[in-house]
Amino acid sequence: MTIFISDYALLIYGILILVISGDILVRGSVSLARYFKISTLIVGVTVVSFGTSAPELIVSINAALTGHQEIAIGNVVGSNISNIALVLALTAIILPIAVAKNSVRIDWPVMMFSGILLYLMSHDGRIEQYEGIIFIIILVLYILFIIHKGKKERKHAPEFKKPQYNIFLSLSFVIVSIIGMYYGSTFLIDGASGIATNWGVSERVISVTVIAFGTSVPELSTSVIAAIKKESDISVGNILGSNIFNVFAILGITASIKDVTVSSKILTNDILWMLASFILLLIFMFVPKKYKITRAGGVILLVFYIIFIYTSFS
């Protein structure tokens, strides 16, 4: 009974730390964007995305090294689904999200490509070391492209607002928030895993639902807070960038350390749900309003997520 209660306490502590860290991360990132005179979209798909993907990275590497292969990949696939069908859905329900053209023209195709490539590379039942290295190379090329494009856009960009904080404080906010997310996610995952284990749920189901939700809380807190602050580029850019990082960085780094085994259930079920969520997102970035995810789109995405969770446990 004591352990059960402590699991719930860890869950609550983790969520509180992640929400606070998400607010600090948005403040620091937006200030950095203004200081260096680059768009918040670029910051969203690089600094913020990597920061909010840190929990997935820690979980997947630890899982692979300790022999929990289904958690290593299930965490990434489930997190990508929850990022879109839960995080963006709830964000859009709270406040409809404007979508930057770059997100549609560049980031979504790269995200979809990452999902398809993951599906194809998983067909032999494992992601091998050389495939992990390929993922990392693609990620580096993507980041270099984004930075180059951001520099070109800066020449034609309108005058940027003054940064809210100086460079030292802005960087401190980002660093402190990432550290907070690491510990907050650790608390949340430990608590959620303990609760799920007591319920007698399989490791795969835990990874694509409970743990994936836990590692997506940073994206949830960051995106909701960004939407409320009307920094929609951070909100959408963070999600797309985070999903790209999840596949190319997290699975890339994890597989380059140790081959990742992919179960048939993850390949034939969970990855297909992930690809379906990507396609749904593209539709709702155009329907019913172009370059805007409406509340109606958010509701449908949320229903999609609820169905995914229900079928996972059934």
Quick one: average pLDDT of 117-136? Answer: 95
Percent of the chain, pLDDT > 90? 37
Q: Among the listed ranges 51-65, 149-163, 188-202, 295-309, which one has the minimum average pLDDT value?
A: 149-163
| pLDDT level of residue 2 (50, 70, 90 thresholds) | very low
Inform me whether the pLDDT recorded for 139 exceeds 60: yes
| pLDDT level of residue 1 (50, 70, 90 thresholds) | very low
Beta strands in the chain (DSSP E): 97-98, 126-127, 260-261, 292-293
Angle subtended by helix axes 2-35 and 167-198, to nearest 10: 150
Q: What is the pLDDT of residue 168?
A: 92
Delimit the domains of the chain by residue range. 2-313
C-alpha 50/C-alpha 81 separation (Å) is 17
Q: Candidates 3.40.50.300, 1.10.10.10, 2.40.50.90, 1.20.1420.30; correct CATH number of 2-313?
A: 1.20.1420.30
* Dihedral angle computed from the Cα positions of residues 120, 74, 91 and 196, in that order, rounded to the nearest 10 degrees: 160
- Give the containing element (helix H, strand E) for 291: none
pLDDT tens per residue, range 225-271: 777 777 655 567 778 888 999 999 999 999 999 999 999 999 999 99
Whether the pTM exceeds 0.85: the reply is no
pLDDT tens per residue, range 23-79: 788 788 778 877 877 766 676 666 666 766 777 787 888 888 878 888 889 989 999
Q: What is the pLDDT of residue 134?
A: 97
Report the chain's mean pLDDT, rounded to a whole number. 84
Q: Is 69 exposed, middle or buried (0-12, 13-18, 19+ CB in 10 A)?
A: buried
| pLDDT level of residue 4 (50, 70, 90 thresholds) | low
Q: What is the pLDDT of residue 269?
A: 94
Backbone angles phi, psi at 98, to 5 degrees: -75, 135
Torsion sign across C-alpha atoms 268, 63, 20, 2: positive
pLDDT tens per residue, range 91-107: 898 888 888 888 888 89
Q: What is the pLDDT of residue 5?
A: 58
